[in-house]
């Protein structure tokens, strides 16, 4: 069982980070300097400029550091889900889930029959067919399926979404949630916090681990997010690490 799935199943806190720059050197630099403190690294194909081939190379690099490779797909679509899993992702984050039906579709496309409807094929994940039988036998017990709750409709349907089997965690998107409630400003900050608190309490009640991305991390913020009960915590993003250091030196 991969490191991320094992931790989530045991309700343990995991730490990861986000990659948007499509070069293996970025992973090497981050993984080396984080001194084995990362459980997972997410390759962002929703908002980054990362293509399929670059994504596979990033997964290869992440694996070298005994870190779980996670990929956020651009959308809840079977073609993206299948290709990312075929490339060797051990965790998949599926964005903008709003309804129970969308969640069922995401989970179903992520799993082989009989639990799901993922299609079979030779790929990098099964060493191009050399490990095909073993891979498809073990895969459903290995993959971490994480759904993003980032719209008011998702919050309204949260109870139904969280009851779907095989969801390992969800990841909240505060900015998109705020956007779905109107403008991102101080006026609806209290409303957003109210929805986030509901998301946390409902998830804890049902027993599904929650995730949060600290875009601009600090030790204080990390401790605060831990104290709130989040279990899958993303610390920073490669482009922000780079810009923060530039501002620190030249700002």
Q: Is residue 57's pLDDT more than 90?
A: yes
- The better pLDDT of the pair 34, 46 is held by 46
Q: How far apart are CA 186 and CA 192, in angstroms?
A: 10
Q: What is the per-residue pLDDT for 186? A: 62
User: What does the alpha-carbon distance between residue 171 and residue 94 come to, in Å, rounded to a whole number?
Assistant: 9
pLDDT digits (tens, 9 = 90+) for 141-157: 999 999 999 999 999 99
Task: Write down the pTM of the prediction.
Answer: 0.96
Distance, in Å, from the CA atom of 67 to the CA atom of 3, rounded to the nearest integer, reads 7
Going by C-alpha positions, the residue among 122, 113, 109 that lies closest to residue 82 is: 109
- Is pLDDT above 90 for 181? no
With bands split at pLDDT 50, 70 and 90, how would you rate the model's confidence at 117? very high
Please pick, among 23, 32, 47, 213, the residue that the annotation labels catalytic: 47
Mean pLDDT confidence for 182-208: 86
Phi-psi group of 175: left, alpha or beta (phi > 0 → left; psi -120 to 50 → alpha; rest → beta): alpha
> What is the per-residue pLDDT across 3-16, written as a single tens digit (0 to 9) for each?
899 999 999 999 99
Compute the average pLDDT of residues 171-193. 82
Q: What is the pLDDT of residue 68?
A: 97
Rounded Cα distance between 72 and 46, Å, is 6
Domain ranges of the chain: 3-250
Best CATH choice for the domain 3-250 from the list 3.50.30.30, 3.20.20.60, 3.40.640.10, 3.40.50.300: 3.20.20.60
Res 90 pLDDT > 70: yes
Mean pLDDT, the chain, as a whole number? 94
47 a catalytic residue: yes
Q: Give the pLDDT confidence score for residue 189 in this predicted structure.
A: 80
Q: Measure CA 144 to chain center.
A: 9
């Amino acid at each position: 069982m991969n490191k991320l799935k094992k931790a989530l199943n045991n309700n343990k806190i995991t730490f990861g980070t986000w990659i948007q720059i499509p070069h293996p050197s970025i992973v090497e630099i981050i993984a080396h300097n984080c001194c084995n403190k990362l459980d997972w690294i997410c390759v962002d194909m929703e908002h980054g400029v990362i293509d399929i081939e670059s994504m596979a190379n990033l997964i290869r690099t992440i694996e070298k550091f005994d870190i779980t490779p996670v990929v956020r797909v651009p959308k809840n679509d079977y073609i993206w889900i299948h290709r990312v899993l075929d490339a060797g992702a051990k965790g998949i984050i599926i964005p903008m889930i709003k309804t129970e039906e969308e969640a069922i579709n995401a989970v179903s496309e992520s799993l082989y029959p009989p639990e799901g409807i993922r299609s079979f094929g030779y790929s990098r994940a099964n060493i191009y067919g050399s490990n095909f039988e073993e891979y498809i036998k073990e895969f459903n017990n290995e993959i971490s399926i994480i759904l993003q709750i980032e719209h008011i409709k998702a919050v309204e349907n949260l109870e139904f979404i969280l009851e779907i089997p095989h969801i390992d965690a969800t990841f909240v998107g505060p900015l998109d949630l705020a956007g779905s409630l109107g403008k991102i400003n101080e006026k609806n900050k209290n409303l957003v916090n109210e929805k986030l608190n509901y998301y946390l309490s409902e998830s804890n009640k049902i027993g599904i681990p929650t995730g949060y991305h600290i875009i601009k991390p600090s030790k204080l913020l990390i401790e605060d997010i831990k104290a709130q009960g989040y279990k899958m915590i993303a610390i920073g993003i490669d482009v922000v690490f780079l810009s923060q250091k530039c501002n620190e030196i030249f700002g």
